[in-house]
Amino acid sequence: MEINSFSPCSLIAFFLATSIKLFLPNFISFASIISYSTILSIQMYNFIGFKSLGLVWFHNRYITIFFSILMEFEEIEKKWQKRWFNEKIYEARKEKGKKFFIHFAYPGISGYLHVGHMRGFTYSDIIARYKRMSGYDVIFPAGFHATGLPAVSLAKKVERGDEKTLQYLRSNGCPEEIIKKLSDPIEVVKYFSNVYVEEYWKKFGFLIDYTRLMDTISPGYKKFIQWQFYKLKELDLLIQKPHYAPYCPNCGPVAVDKSETDISQGGDAEILEFTLIKFKMDGYILPAATLRPETIFGVTNMWVNGSEDYVIAKVGNEKWIVSEKAAFKLKHQMDDVEIIEKIKGSKLVGKKCVAPLIEKEVPIYDAKFVDTSVATGVVMSVPAHAPYDYVALRDMNMPVEPIVIIKIKGYEIPAKEIVEKMGIKDQHDERLEEATQIIYKEEFHSGIMNENCMEYAGRKINEVKDEIKEKMLQRNEAAIMREFSKKVICRCGAEVIIKKIPDQWFIRYSDEELTEKSKEHVKSMNIYPSEYKEELPKVLDWFGDRACIRRGS
């Protein structure tokens, strides 16, 4: 950006910043403040500037003087930061008396840091300084999260010449000779660890003890982690069971998170657990995927997409009919899945199948809205409680009577009434999703099962939902399939699926005794804001077992 103007407002910003710096020399960078005031003045110049007053000579002279001062401040800053570092003011003094230990979450080695990181680190720095001023001997170490996929992922991108990654590195000042080395994950860790220290933490003046830096792949830290796991094993808090993790068929395990380091799409996707309810049809199984197994009592028909390809697959001792895309995913989540033959969805349309648990025969209808890339491509229809199903049957003029199985205040036939209330026109109306969420939320939190729901009649949905699922699983009338809440695409262009990792190690955070001890410990903690302290025990209640590593044992 060409700097061709300056406003009197910068004088105010400059002198205010200078005054603050004089009173708070340890907290504020001269160069940063001058940069901020420069940006402010440039932005405001169009409104009030020296040129608009005809003072062109004064304007140009002021610019020259200003940037000379700016350069002086940068040199002054470097001088004193070097002096502070040489005087070792950051190191713990190892004196007798009160001790205080603090650290922040180690940043992952995945690239350059941003202002959000620095804001979080600054909180720790403020506390460390306050404690030191209060007479404590403060130990403030720092580290780098080098384990896991981020560093490996960045190295792979450099290795394959990913243009976006290379441009990212160059635009942040990474030298070409360094970029060539970053195809090695160890070099990624070395380079960015140095950047974090020299370009960020030291320049921000953090009170970190730089003699206590470490990373999570150093021999000493590995021993520390091993010690932790030996302790967890002694306490019976380690177990082995299958784990389901994001997986690219081309690249292997990938991280699915908002940073989208490994992927190009779907960083905010969640892993959903679908219940596959096994409908029987002439010796075959039609596994209908649902997030609401309790609605089996209200099923009226099944949906398949007659225009799409399905397959007959041998799953254990059963023959399943699922979409071709579903079969590929199931092969990565289940044992003994073998594709026998391909069929068109149209071959299923018009046939009938039997719903488990309620032993009811229902017809199979054709529906173009069925997305065969989601779950099994087979969907059960519950028009009394699913707005999508109600609207589809209405639009197709199908003679199906909704079966109400859940009572909620203010509704007789929930799906029908919410559709009419919102004026939803057809299956393409975007408000269908909103209607679905409204009904689902109401039914889950306050819904009561109707008299036509066997032994579950009169009970709350949130009490029986898992119970009904477990009963069908125990009777081999259902199975489980994991699926993303939205499509996830790897950097290589392939769709990311979910893969079963057998015998993964888990930490048993679900252990009741551990949960109760953790709640007791919360009482002794200082947590700010205070309302977080009240919420933390509730959060601990829903902690589940956590996988220790990505790739399995």
Burial 154-191 (b: 16+ CB within 10 A, else e): bbbbbeeeeeebbeebeeeebeeeeeeebbbbebbbbb
Residue 478: strand pairing partners: 277
Residue 343: strand pairing partners: 310
Res 552: pLDDT: 39
Angle subtended at Cα 97 by Cα 96 and Cα 100, rounded to the nearest 5 degrees: 110
In this structure, CATH architecture of domain 274-484: Alpha-Beta Complex (3.90)
Q: Indicate the CATH number for domain 99-217.
A: 3.40.50.620
Q: State the Cα–Cα distance between residues 15 and 404, nearest whole angstrom.
A: 72
Instruction: Report the length, in residues, of the chain.
Output: 553
Average pLDDT over all residues of the chain = 85
For the entire predicted model, the pTM comes to 0.67
Averaged pLDDT for residues 219-232: 93
* CB 281 within 8 Å of CB 366: no
Percentage of the chain beyond pLDDT 70 is 86
Task: Give the start-end residues of each E strand in 162-225.
Answer: 213-215
Res 74: pLDDT: 77
**pLDDT tens digits, residue range 77-100?**
888 888 888 888 888 777 777 899
Res 1: pLDDT: 35
Does residue 13 surpass a pLDDT of 50?
no
Q: What are the residue ranges of helices labelled H in 342-486?
A: 387-395, 414-422, 431-446, 461-474
More confident residue, 496 or 64: 496
Quick one: fold of 233-265+491-547? Methionyl-trna Synthetase; domain 2 (2.170.220)
Question: How do the domains of the chain map onto residue ranges?
Answer: 9-86, 99-217, 233-265+491-547, 274-484
**pLDDT tens digits, residue range 433-442?**
999 999 999 9
Res 529: pLDDT: 83
Q: State the Cα–Cα distance between residues 51 and 407, nearest whole angstrom.
A: 73
Averaged pLDDT for residues 340-366: 95
**pLDDT tens digits, residue range 513-544?**
999 999 999 999 888 888 888 888 888 888 88
Give residue 16's pLDDT band: very low, low, confident or very high (50, 70, 90): very low
What are the backbone angles phi and psi of residue 506, rounded to the nearest 5°?
-125, 145
**pLDDT tens digits, residue range 156-176?**
889 989 898 999 999 999 999
Residue 284: strand pairing partners: 281
Does residue 55 surpass a pLDDT of 60?
no
Give residue 141's pLDDT band: very low, low, confident or very high (50, 70, 90): very high
